[in-house]
Chains A and B, each alone.
Chain A
Amino acid sequence: MRYALLVQGSPYSNQASHSALRFSHGLIARGHQLATVFFYHDGVYNAARLALPPQDEPHLVDEWRELHVRQSTELLVCIASGLRRGIVDEQEASRHGKTGHSLEAPFELTGLGQLIDAGLTHDRLVTFAP
């Protein structure tokens, strides 16, 4: 089956992202496809380019990237939730006169329409919230 995930928890603050990643690995191991992950609410922090967890802890941002490499999983970040919280790509940063950016490929800023679309076009949409 083609799966989509909706992740709404901030990494390292609560279990939502950890659970979502473990679920991702589980469904891939069973032969399913993780086609899309949509990050909304505090979940947008999962895309923080500068995240530096201690080396003996899982690097959640890198684990999402790895899913993109393995399965071409689309990593979609809600632009309205992201901009409010300082999660911006290079283009948005320069548009708003900021010197740095906090989000980069394979994560991409996108609109909420993509969440609705994911919910209607995948076999399953599973939510991970705090």
Chain B
Amino acid sequence: MNDIAFNRLLVVLRHGPHGSSWLREGLEVALVGAALGQDVSLLFYGEGVTALLKEQQVGPLAQKGTQPMLEMLPMYDIESLWVDAEALATYDLTLDELVVPAKEVGRHEVSDLFQRHRLVLNF
């Protein structure tokens, strides 16, 4: 945990890519923050870890998918990505199955992660 910089904005994503607009609207905040020059970190927490699964499709609801937004993160210099280790285990996932590189964080370390950010927004 000590290698993270004192990033200013942490966006916590707690919803999967389908079923609601929470993930999309959370990612939009992250991209806007980065476009405004903030250092942005993302924490994929609980169900939010499923946002990172590869090969997602748009689906029959014809809403824009969130995977293209995730692929844009490096272009916005959003490289501090954290995933909830417990949720990864719950969904039986490993880091190499994720669409972008991310680091695991234990639930007991989450409060520490929050404290290292000036602004935390929860979606």
Answer whether residue B8 sits at the interface, using C-beta atoms and an 8 A cutoff: yes
* Residues from chain A with Cβ under 8 Å of B122 in the complex: 127, 129
Choose among B22, B28, B119, B123 the residue that contacts A120 (Cβ–Cβ < 8 A): B119
Task: Answer whether residue A111 sits at the interface, using C-beta atoms and an 8 A cutoff.
Answer: yes
For B38, the chain A residues whose CB sits under 8 A away are 116, 120
Structural contact, B29 and A116, CB atoms closer than 8 A: yes
Q: Does B85 contact A (CB under 8 A)?
A: no
Which residue of chain B is the closest to A119 with respect to CB atoms?
A: B119
Cβ of A49 within 8 Å of any chain B Cβ, yes or no, is no
Shortest distance between the CB of B39 and any CB in chain A (Å): 12
The residue of chain A having its C-beta at the shortest distance from the C-beta of B38 within the complex is A116
Size category, A interface: 10 to 19
Q: Could you tell me which B residues sit within 8 Å of A by CB distance?
A: 8-9, 21-22, 25, 28-29, 32-33, 36, 38, 118-119, 121-123
* Contact of A116 with B28 in the complex, beta carbons under 8 Å: no
Interfacial residues, chain A to chain B (CB-CB below 8 A) = 6, 40-41, 80-81, 111-113, 115-117, 119-120, 125, 127, 129
Q: A40-B25, A41-B21, A81-B25 are in contact. Are A119 and B32 (CB under 8 A)?
A: no
Closest to B119 in A: A119
Q: Which of B9, B21, B28, B123 contacts A119 (CB 8 A)?
A: B9
Give Cα A6–Cα B121 distance, bound, in whole angstroms. Answer: 9
Given A41-B21, A115-B121, 8 extra CB contacts under 8 A: A41-B25, A80-B28, A112-B28, A113-B36, A115-B32, A116-B9, A120-B8, A120-B38
Residues of B within 8 A of A80 (CB): 28
A120's nearest neighbour on chain B, judged by CB, is B119
Task: Give complex CA distance A120, B29 in Å.
Answer: 14
Separation of A113 and B29 alpha carbons in the complex (Å): 8
